[in-house]
A and B are shown apart, each in its own frame.
Chain A
């Protein structure tokens, strides 16, 4: 029990970091679901793409000898902005190529196309990295600033990279909230999500709004990818699957289509997972350990879908949506 209490603050920090990652990725799922009502299965690859953009830029800076010469804040800003923009553009391209031709068809058709896109992108990334660097398992170069730690209390030491994740995620989530709720374009996105036909009658260019939604969701995924890489350092083309599926769980947990819900769901799932990873083994005397944390997330998903398909914050969905 002593041990259980001692690690609690550390577990909380881990959970919060994980929670923000899931929240950022979940936004992509939930926003796309809001406007198109389908699961953008390839979003996890958009997220991984962000990780790869980040690692490529850092490796290039490193080989040019500029990594330590530039101020760390500038490097981080560059990596984050580049990751967001490229991931956002990739999400737009994906929508144009793989989803728009299917609009109006059965939803399962779009979902199958999305699964195909996800698989295709995984191997496309692998192919590119294999040809470019001769390996597709990459690791982020170390940035000294990120590995420094800030001692908060005697037994809680928080690394700068965790603080970076938390601060960046909070800033972007606030910006997104402002964008969706306070700007004209954000209003258009909400209008399309509520009723695409009426929105189009009101003069909203629905297809452009959908593309924009993909861009914003993709950018959030790309940001999560960069932060994921900076925090956990190892990336490969297939590393998006587990975070992606968990972020989707988070989106459903919060109520799919609901933006604050995605943030809340991500946070709840991140904390649950961190607790499961640390305490499962203590509670069961080592019989079940951290390796069951993925199982845990899936069980959460199945249970929510059975008992509260509209999620924590989701309103009662219209007939045919739930």
Chain B
């Protein structure tokens, strides 16, 4: 009976939080409450079928409608989706196989530049014929291609370095990411491949292949309104595919081999696990996910430059995986969502609030310490600019107090 009660409670919660977000489109809090409903759906003891229906309706119906009212929410949702996909990829490398990769962003950059170069006039700079930009229909071809290119890049890096011990591997991957970034930054001469620090624009968006269908039903949309929704569903499908692949891998022979290596490499080798090959496969799978997400990112941004692929980004994704719990798929999703919301909404909100305080010229009077005019608050003090501090604190505090993360993987929980 409690099950039915919980179900109704949950439905009521979703309805209320959704209406709040719908009728108060400026409220970050309402949106957060609505986002939390997914977590509740996952955790509360509800019939699995109900979970599926509720999750599907939140993701496929309620969120898009909300996003249609307030485009910013959709933007946030797409960002979250991108980071969830990245975190799931890194989770395979760090969480399952136990290989600390500090240069994950390199593969993301490779994918992004793959589509950016050929999906914009950039490729004309070094290929004759003037075929570029490729037509949007090629986007899906490149999405598939990027999986292969990412896997190849991962293998090429992995082959020499995977024999190294854990912390050396971390530094080498970091170095690799810096090399990739330096190359992207400087390969505008002698031949202009990447257009250097100026970046590449405009990058083609994916094709609106469903347009005839919409027109058939007589629905007319402005492309400006349509694209955010379209990207939302693209990211959602990519995340779903990645979750599916990750889940299948996790419970397969190869997934068990990863975990065996993570727990004890020598013992795993003694049991006949081909250590280097298994590690390499994990590395390649993670890299190919990141690379595919990169293609999507480039298409969404229309403009990319090397600034988007700094070490900071790698650490951000690592913080997501560690916050959620290494080796746990729901953990990676939760971590990515949490950190992205923290970054995009909470810190920015705090900055805006401080700014308004500063402009209001209010005077704060503290007993015994005298009064302090808030307009004197230095303009440099903007929480949104201190994301490194936030990532750093997450990493240190998690390592000291809860190294297994907020949602550790199931088998650890049993112990």
Contact = CB atoms under 8 A, between A and B. Distances in A.
Nearest to B387: A123
A109 B175 CA distance: 20
B171 A248 contact: yes
Nearest to A319: B266
A218 to B, nearest CB: 18
Interface residues of B, number: 45
Main secondary structure of the interface of A (DSSP, over half): helix
Given A127-B381, A291-B186, A295-B179, A109 B392 contact: no
A231 B370 CA distance: 43
Interface in B147-206: 160-161, 164-168, 170-172, 174-176, 178-179, 182-183, 185-186, 189-190
Contacts of B183: 295
B392 A118 contact: yes
Interface stretch (B40-48, B356-364, B395-403, B406-414): B395-403
A117 B396 contact: yes
Interface in A278-322: 286-288, 291-292, 294-295, 298-299, 301-302, 305-306, 309, 322
B311 interface: yes
Contacts of B83: none
A121 interface: yes
Contacts of A117: 392, 395-396
Contact of B380 (A116, A118, A136, A298): A136
Interface residues of A, number: 49
A245 B175 contact: yes
B160 A111 contact: no
A18 B174 CA distance: 22
B386 interface: yes
B283 interface: no
B171 A39 contact: yes
A287 B191 CA distance: 9
Contacts of A110: 399
A109 B100 CA distance: 10
Interface in A220-254: 241, 245, 248, 252
Nearest to A124: B389
A105 interface: yes
A115 B102 contact: yes
Given A241-B311, A294-B178, A102 B399 contact: yes
Contact of A305 (B168, B174, B189, B394): B168
Contacts of B380: 130-131, 134-136
Contacts of A38: 167
A135 B380 CA distance: 7
Given A105-B403, A301-B172, A302-B160, A120 B389 contact: yes
Given A116-B391, A123-B389, A130-B381, 17 more contacts: A39-B167, A98-B400, A102-B399, A111-B170, A112-B100, A115-B102, A115-B392, A116-B393, A116-B396, A117-B395, A119-B392, A122-B392, A292-B182, A305-B168, A306-B164, A309-B168, A322-B165
Interface of A: 38-39, 98, 101-102, 105, 107-113, 115-124, 126-127, 130-131, 134-136, 241, 245, 248, 252, 286-288, 291-292, 294-295, 298-299, 301-302, 305-306, 309, 322
